[in-house]
Amino acid sequence: MDLGLKDRVAVVAASSQGLGKAVALGLAREGTRLALCARTASTLEETAAEIRRETGVEVFTRALDVRLDGEVERFVADLLERFSRIDICVANAGGPPSKSFTETTMEDWRAATELNLLSTVSFARHVLPPMRERRWGRFLAITSMTVKQPVAGLILSNSVRSAVSGLVKSLSNEYGPYNVLVNSVCPGYTATGRLLELAQKQAREQNVSPAEIEARWAREVPLGRIGRPEEFANLVVFLASERASYITGTAIAVDGGIVKGIY
């Protein structure tokens, strides 16, 4: 299947490692030109160099914090100047800390809202108007399986990411008439630095090894294993493509079947 992604321009946020990096690489393998951002310039540049080496595509980078709307705004303005358009935007950020409700402070709630909801709002505010003008766009938000089934100890993610799902659905209604498609993709347990951090925290609390925690998670998954970042990226790349032209307003899980509900 020709995905029609060659020479499209994609912004992938929080992409120096993990799911964002896998999505960037997946798009680059289809010939998409990239703009990547993350907080640390050195790791971001290493990732960009790796992607250029493997695929030969143009990769623009900017070290920034996705929580800062002014930085996102300047980044998008510079991209529009350089590439004259943005076709695809993948909104992403780190995850909030693992806590129970009683452990959270108001500051934790504000921080999670800034990191996961407001960063998505910020990218949407800056990339959707030029997409609307060109009558072509794909806006994709990386959320979590927690929007379909709350995970114990992840109350910040369970709550704040559901707001992102509401945002995405609303945006799909508002931008559908302009052929700008808006969807979210909900990862289950996927082998990245973030998952290892969560495994290490639970391992300390339960006095077992991180490998034991990961083995327990794998046993909860019908497919019997943790996912690979590229398995997640494959869906994002498809949704970003020309071939996904009638899909908008959805929240699709890539979770090995762990979510028990039907929808």
Contacts with ligand NAD, residue ranges (CB under 6 A): 14-20, 38-39, 65-67, 92-95, 115, 142, 144-145, 187, 189-190, 192-195
Q: In the bound complex, what is the minimum distance in angstroms from residue 27's beta carbon to ligand NAD?
A: 15
Q: In the bound complex, what is the minimum distance in angstroms from residue 20's beta carbon to ligand NAD?
A: 5
Nearer to ligand NAD, 48 or 182 (CB): 48
Task: Single out the residue of 197, 199, 170, 196 nearest to residue 183, CA to CA.
Answer: 170
Nearer to ligand NAD, 176 or 193 (CB): 193
> Residue 166 CB: number of other CB atoms within 10 A?
12
Q: What is the C-alpha separation between 24 and 32, in angstroms, rounded?
A: 9
Q: In the bound complex, what is the minimum distance in angstroms from residue 261's beta carbon to ligand NAD?
A: 16
Nearer to ligand NAD, 208 or 218 (CB): 218
Question: Any idea how long the chain is?
Answer: 263
Q: What is the C-alpha separation between 72 and 68, in angstroms, rounded?
A: 7
Nearer to ligand NAD, 193 or 224 (CB): 193
Nearer to ligand NAD, 119 or 172 (CB): 119
Q: In the bound complex, what is the minimum distance in angstroms from residue 118's beta carbon to ligand NAD?
A: 11
**Token pair of 70, please?**
């002014």
Question: Which residues lie closer than 8 Å to 167 by C-beta, 6 or more apart?
Answer: 117, 120, 121, 124, 141
Q: In the bound complex, what is the minimum distance in angstroms from residue 83's beta carbon to ligand NAD?
A: 20
3-state secondary structure of 217: helix
